[in-house]
Every structure is written in structure tokens, then in C-alpha cells.
Amino acid sequence: MVLCRICGGPVDEFFDFGRQPVSDSFVTPETAGSEFYFRLAAGVCTDCTMVQLIEEVPREKMFHEDYPYRSAGSAVMREHFEKYAHRLLDGELAVDDPFVVEIGSNDGTMLKTIGRAGVRHLGVDPSAQVAEFAKAAGVRVRTDFFQDSSARDIAAADGPADVIFSANTVSHIAYIDSVFRGVDALLGPDGVFVIEDRYLGSIIEQNAFDQIYDEHFYLFSVGSVQAMARRFGLELADVEPLSVHGGSMRYTIARPGRRTVSAAVTEHIDREREAGLGRPETYHRFAQHVKESCRDLVRLLTDLREQGHSVVGYGATAKSATVLNYCGIGPDLVPFICDSTPAKQGRLAPGTHIPIRPSEQFSQPYPDYALLFAWNHAEEILAKEREFRAAGGKWIRYVPDVHVV
């Protein structure tokens, strides 16, 4: 029996995506076939309701010097983090000599706004390459994994933090007990630990099955985060729905009794109960929808190929690895994927080895259809690629179901 990494309760496995490569292992043609593989399967704890992966991928395999993701690659995300940074400056950081720590600071998109305001800060990120981008933007960075030991080092050198912030990172960390011990060691008495992450309720509602991949070890709900905070001696004080990444949630965690718990916490937990997020049968229904989506997507791509239409992928996202490998979609159905990230260009998609080309090649010439893997940035992408639609091009979407727009 698999036991929950949070509470030790039994985990009910609801879907097995089979053998999958590390989602961000964009190999070169010379190293194709060298990827690390693991069994991608998900389950839900029948006690604390935390959805989690069954098998853990070693962190060094996922988050390393060549980690390709850049927060600044999306104008929407740049604006999102800049806006929240100003909100922190006007709120939680409007105290004497404030100090903020960001877990998974990436290229420093959020912290550079904090730094420019003259506020003490520190980013913690294990990828040396992205840390250099942050340092070039004037951000102070510790190239390391955030855990109990590193947090204690930071506390000894810099004192307690008024804010510990993390976006789309805490859910990646299987050894979350060490993270919370680190938060406990570093967080000031009246400080807050703020987590932003993809929201489980949106994932289930949208059938966004590609959000299940190696980096997303946990899929958070309000109920499971509340249980997790309590487990480690903290309290979930507030929640705030966010539109980014197809539906996210911002969780504000504090020391018990230091903050008035918002009514939004209870309201969202009630909604989750009504939606069945604590019941295994909800996830087994979700698994059936995943199978149907995969079947429909392969059928559509096969039909388009047989009709002589050209199809390319758009956005070599980490989550596209789940779709491509589980559905068995290779270069025969999607000859290449266009992406704006230089670190991915000229490389191959994990497992399927579909070539990644610069986004400029999307229009040389335009394909008949584009399979949108970066669907969580659809509004931004469709506005950018108006000429594709004007030329008669059509987008293929697979969330919440397979359809052409």
C-alpha cells in the first residue's frame, strides 16, 4: 500500500500514465534516448485528500543547471508577479527593515521589483543557470534547494523573514516535511508563508490532465493545504483564486492565532466538498475522461494527416510531455513544435523526440493546424498570432476536451 507523504494515510491510485521521461529533459539529437524514465501515476489520500504522485523523481533529475523554464518568458506572468510584488511592498513588507525570501525564484521576475524598492530579499533556486539571470537583474540569490538546513542557514545570516513566497514550486517538492521545518525555522512570528500553485479544483473541472507530470508531485486543494499546514504546526489563513496557469490558488499560511482566518477558506472547502474533491470516485471519473481525450486527440491528428493537412505543435511545455508520451504522439503526427525559449530550440521533446524549432518558423509557412500545448497562455498566444488565424489557420485544443477553434 502507498502511504501519503503528508499524513501517512492510504493513497488510492486513480491513474497510471505509464513510463514517462522527465518533462523538461529536452535532449539534443546526439543524446536522444538518454532520458531518465519513471512511472507516472497519481493517487489521492483518503485521509487528508492530498493528490500526489506515486513515484518520486530524484530532484537532481528535474531541477539542474540547464533547467529551461523562465518566468519572464510570458508577458502575463511578468505582469502578474510585478503586481504582486507591489502589493507585498504596500502590505506585508511595509514594516521596519523587511525581509522576503522566495523559494524557486527562477530568473528573478518577482524579486527584482522588490530589490529595486530597496527591500532586503533572497531568492533560493537550485538551477545555477536561471540564478545567473536573476543576479544579472540585481537579485540576490542562493543557488540551493530550500529545505530545513538551508533555511536555518538563511535565518542565521539574515534573521527572520516577514514573507516567504513561492509560486509553482512547493508542489514540486516531495520532501515537503523538510520545507515546512525550514519555514518554521525562518518565518518571523507575524510573518506569512504565501504559496501560489495550480488549483486541483480547476484541473478536475477542466480535465487538464497534462498538469500531472513529474514536477507536480502534489496537486493542491484548499482542504489539503489546510490539512498540510496543520500537520506542520501552521494555519491556513486566507485563499485567493488566480486566473494564471488555467486556474491557480494563492494560499496564505501563518503561525496559529496570528491572523484572522478568512471566510474564503471555509467557503472554498465547502465548494470542494460539494465537488467531491475528497472522494476517490471523482478521480476515477477524471481518469476515464483522460482516456477519452487521448483517444479523441490521436484520432483527430490521424485524420488530419490522412487528409493531407499540416499540423505543428505550439509551446514545448513541460506538461506536453504527459500528453505526447501517454497518447503516443510522435513526429509522424506532429513534425515539430515551435517555442520561444532559446534553451529548448534545436533540441527534442522528451521521449517522443519531436524537434523543437524557434517560434519564428511558425509562419514559414503557417501550418493548417497548430496543436496548442501552452493552452494556459491561450489568450496571450492567440492575440500574438492573429495573422495565423487570418491566414486560415486553426488551433487544436484538448482542454477541457478535444476541439478545433
Question: Is it true that domain 281-404 has CATH number 3.40.50.720?
Answer: yes
pLDDT tens, residue by residue, 212-250 = 999 999 999 999 999 999 999 999 999 999 999 889 999
d(CA 149, CA 248): 29
d(CA 102, CA 67): 18
The mean per-residue pLDDT over the stretch 153-177 comes to: 96
In this prediction, residue 127 carries a pLDDT of 86
pLDDT band at 107 (very low <50, low <70, confident <90, very high): confident
In this prediction, residue 69 carries a pLDDT of 57
pLDDT tens, residue by residue, 136-163 = 999 999 999 999 999 999 999 999 999 9
pLDDT band at 173 (very low <50, low <70, confident <90, very high): very high
Quick check: 164 and 186 in contact, CB under 8 A? yes
Q: With 60 as the cut, is the pLDDT of residue 34 above it? A: yes
Q: With 70 as the cut, is the pLDDT of residue 45 above it? A: yes
pLDDT tens, residue by residue, 357-398 = 999 999 999 999 999 999 998 999 999 999 999 999 999 999
In this prediction, residue 314 carries a pLDDT of 98
In this prediction, residue 128 carries a pLDDT of 82
Domains 71-275 and 281-404 share a fold: yes
Mean pLDDT, the chain, rounded, equals 94
Beta bridge partners of 41: 16
Q: Spelled out in words, what is the top-level CATH class assigned to the domain 71-275?
A: alpha beta
Strands 356-358 and 311-314: unpaired
* Residue 96: CB atoms within 10 Å: 5
Q: With 80 as the cut, is the pLDDT of residue 1 above it? A: yes
Higher-pLDDT residue of 67, 143? 143
In this prediction, residue 58 carries a pLDDT of 87
Q: With 60 as the cut, is the pLDDT of residue 64 above it? A: no
d(CA 94, CA 388): 46
Crossing angle between the packed helical segments 280-306 and 320-327, to the nearest 10 degrees:
70
In this prediction, residue 390 carries a pLDDT of 96
Q: With 90 as the cut, is the pLDDT of residue 181 above it? A: yes
Q: With 70 as the cut, is the pLDDT of residue 16 above it? A: yes
Q: With 80 as the cut, is the pLDDT of residue 257 above it? A: yes
Please report, for the chain, the start and end positions of each structural domain, with discontinuous segments joined by +. Answer: 71-275, 281-404
In this prediction, residue 245 carries a pLDDT of 87
In this prediction, residue 60 carries a pLDDT of 79
In this prediction, residue 66 carries a pLDDT of 62
Q: With 90 as the cut, is the pLDDT of residue 76 above it? A: no
DSSP-assigned letters across all residues of 378-390: HHHHHHHTHHHHH
In this prediction, residue 187 carries a pLDDT of 98
Higher-pLDDT residue of 328, 73? 328
Q: With 90 as the cut, is the pLDDT of residue 33 above it? A: no
pLDDT band at 70 (very low <50, low <70, confident <90, very high): low
**CB neighbour list of residue 158: distance below 8 Å, 6 or more residues apart:** 99, 120, 122
Report percent pLDDT > 70 for the chain.
Answer: 97
pLDDT band at 73 (very low <50, low <70, confident <90, very high): low
